[in-house]
Chains A and B, each alone.
Chain A
Amino acid sequence: MTMTAQVAILAGYVVLALLAVALGLPARGRRPYASPTAFVATIMSHPAGRWIVLLLWMWVGWHFFVRGSD
């Protein structure tokens, strides 16, 4: 049961990673407006969005390098 759960969760991450590749690949050249960079640029174009993204980035660093995780 636990092995099945582990495999299912890892498979979920793999599917999500493949989905990101599938979403990002057509954006190269032909559709720059659908790229992840354009998505980040859109959020960062708003002052509040810019600082929220930077705070999220800071949280990621805190999470991995200061607090650690289980």
Chain B
Amino acid sequence: MRRRSGLRLNWRTLAGMGQRAVGSTKRPVPWAPLALGAATLCYVSVAGGLSPFTWPAMVSTTIGGLAIFAVAWRRPSPSTAVRASRSGLVAWAGWLAAVTGWELWALSMHPRSSHPTLSSLLNNLIETHPGRSVALLAWLGLGWWLARR
């Protein structure tokens, strides 16, 4: 039995040819990143208006966290970025230990108004709806960056 050779045409191939012929000089619109950006802005504008200690705040933060975890789960390969040298590791680990120690020392002292922690200082910035939305966007951005490492 002879096998038929040649192009297999279906409706998708034809549609693609039509698109290329009509818009051959235009660059394709990156719909996926645009949709993701729009969804993220909607998310931070809504979630930024929620008060702490409420169920909606808990659900919205969990959704944001799970979305980033899903990105991290789909990218299990180890990072190919530049790794730190031994001195770099020691320096940044020491800095991190110093920040943690200073923060814990301030946390152990009272009253909070005269012994501010990083959390209490940042809390003043995220009290308002816009401030909270910007903080949420920064948190998601950091998570996105970490998940793609």
Contacts and interface: CB of A to CB of B under 8 A. Distances in A.
Contacts of A70: 112, 119-120
B48 to A, nearest CB: 9
A34 B84 contact: yes
A6 B114 contact: yes
Interface residues of B, number: 56
Interface string B74-91: 001011011111011101
Interface stretch (B13-21, B24-32, B94-102): B94-102
B83 A45 contact: yes
B49 to A, nearest CB: 11
Nearest to A24: B92
A23 B52 contact: no
Interface residues of A, number: 45
Nearest to B48: A65
B129 to A, nearest CB: 13
A65 B76 CA distance: 28
B119 A41 contact: no
A5 B116 CA distance: 9
A33 B88 contact: yes
B88 A34 contact: yes
User: Which of A6, A36, A66 has the most CB atoms of chain B within a 10 A radius of its CB?
Assistant: A66
Interface of B: 47, 50, 52-53, 57-58, 60-61, 64-65, 68-69, 72, 76, 78-79, 81-85, 87-89, 91-93, 95, 98-99, 102, 106, 109, 111-123, 126, 132, 135-136, 139, 142-143, 146-147, 149
- Sorted nearest first, the 5 A-B pairs with minimum C-beta distance are A68-B52, A34-B88, A2-B114, A33-B85, A69-B119
